[in-house]
Amino acid sequence: MKRPVQLVAAAVTAFSMLGAGQSLAATKIDFILNWIAGGDHAPYYYAEKMGWYKEAGLDLTIQQGKGSSMSAQRTGAGKNQIGLADMPPVFAAISKGANLVAVMNVYANSPYGFYWLKSSGIKSAKDFAGKKIGNPPWDAARKMWPAFAANVGIGEKSVKWVNIQPNAKLSALKAGSIDVTTSFYNIHHIFQRLLGEDMGYVSGKAHGVNPYGNSIIVNGDFLAGNKAAVGAFVKVNQRAFRACAENAKPCIDALVGANKGLKAANEATNWSLVKELMTDATSTGVGLGFMDVARMNKSYEIFAPFLDKKFDMGKHFSNEFIDTSIKMPK
């Protein structure tokens, strides 16, 4: 028969072993992208290949997306713990009740712009009135449109929206079934190559609509119970984006290796444009991913008149997890 002291010692040992096992258990995160994988997502695949997420105690699955609106909705509803989305659709989702907190900015500048054929007679955004704009119904550019139209000086309802799939944008534009389409700046080079000198383009920024773009968003309930895991996720991504900004090749190789069908040369060009979108005085001077309070409030104010319900933006973003020693290269 074991003595009481031995029984206590055995119980303590068993409890300690159980506790150690539990502490080693990785936090499961299903991370949904804003879109199908491309050059702008290379840092996540690089960090995954390097084993940085595992080292940080994270069991990460990267899930392909179908637009920022979808990733915001899924993350807000808790179907994904963490997502990547452009901030205007995040505002829209929060106004409808989604429980979301932005924890790291990726695009310091909005990536959205409008494309058309000069031969169509369109010379500027003022000429969009009465025209057909084609893009997917979930496209974040539709959330940007009311503010953009107001700044241009044309009516919000002065255009007709045509639902088309992303891979049909260029063909529809060339065929004349739409007059204008929208796209991310990081694939600007594809439009240039295929449309040549006939390409017309204007950014949202040119008309005063430059909200924060793609940002890492977290389900509020998940954040409340998993702050350490969210902090680890943010810091791994800061490290990865900084590494890719300094040397893109291994990151592009990791992306292409994980996503068959992608071409390294195209995604490298994509990434070079992403670096432009990521660069501003805050990302280079304060911290990569840091969200300036005044800038975020301005981003929200642009879209507040067009939201279902207003809310306190200060409760829906946080710089708590940003390591300010990691900055975007100048």
CATH of the domain at 156: 3.40.190.10
Q: Per the domain annotation, does 9 fall within a domain?
A: no
Q: Per the domain annotation, does 330 fall within a domain?
A: no
End residue of a domain, out of 207, 225, 247: 207
Same domain, 116 and 242: no
Same domain, 104 and 241: yes
SS3 for 267?
A: helix
Q: Per the domain annotation, does 299 fall within a domain?
A: yes
Structural domain including 39 reads 27-109+211-315
Is the CB of residue 230 less than 8 Å from the CB of residue 129? no
Tokens 């040549």 correspond to: 196
The model carries a pTM of 0.83
Residue 299, burial from CB neighbour count under 10 angstroms (0-12, 13-18, 19+): buried
Helices 264-278/188-195 angle, 10° precision: 120
Closest CA to 273 of 188, 209, 167, 194: 188
Same domain, 116 and 91: no
Q: Retrieve residue 236's tokens.
A: 């791994």
End residue of a domain, out of 207, 231, 255: 207
SS3 for 59?
A: strand
Is the CB of residue 86 less than 8 Å from the CB of residue 34? yes
Residue 25: predicted pLDDT = 85
Q: Per the domain annotation, does 121 fall within a domain?
A: yes
Same domain, 94 and 40: yes
Same domain, 245 and 160: no
Residue 24: predicted pLDDT = 58
Helices 293-303/141-152 angle, 10° precision: 80
Q: Per the domain annotation, does 19 fall within a domain?
A: no
Give the total number of structural domains in the chain. 2
Same domain, 98 and 116: no
The DSSP secondary structure of 153-207, one letter per residue, reads TS-TTSSEEEE--GGGHHHHHHHTS-SEEEEEGGGHHHHHHHHGGGEEEEESGGG
CA 38 to chain centre: 12
Same domain, 306 and 196: no
Closest CA to 278 of 240, 318, 252: 240
The DSSP secondary structure of 1-38, one letter per residue, reads ---HHHHHHHHHHHHHHHHHHHHHSPEEEEEE-SSS--
- What phi and psi values does residue 128 have, to the nearest 5 degrees? -70, -25
Q: Per the domain annotation, does 256 fall within a domain?
A: yes
Closest CA to 303 of 165, 150, 164: 150
The DSSP secondary structure of 194-219, one letter per residue, reads HHGGGEEEEESGGGT-----EEEEEE
Same domain, 122 and 94: no
Same domain, 254 and 305: yes
Q: Per the domain annotation, does 69 fall within a domain?
A: yes
Q: Per the domain annotation, does 55 fall within a domain?
A: yes
Residue 17: predicted pLDDT = 39
Same domain, 230 and 88: yes
Same domain, 105 and 117: no
Same domain, 267 and 308: yes
Tokens 């949202």 correspond to: 204
- Per-residue pLDDT 10s for the chain (330 aa) are 444 444 434 443 443 333 443 445 899 999 999 999 999 999 999 999 999 999 999 999 999 998 899 999 999 999 999 999 999 999 999 999 999 999 999 999 988 899 999 999 999 999 999 999 999 887 778 888 998 999 999 999 999 999 999 889 999 999 999 999 999 888 898 999 999 999 999 999 999 889 999 999 999 999 999 999 999 999 999 999 999 999 999 999 999 999 999 999 999 999 999 999 999 999 999 999 999 999 999 899 988 888 999 999 999 999 999 999 999 998
End residue of a domain, out of 165, 192, 207: 207
The whole-angstrom separation of Cα 187 and Cα 38 is: 10
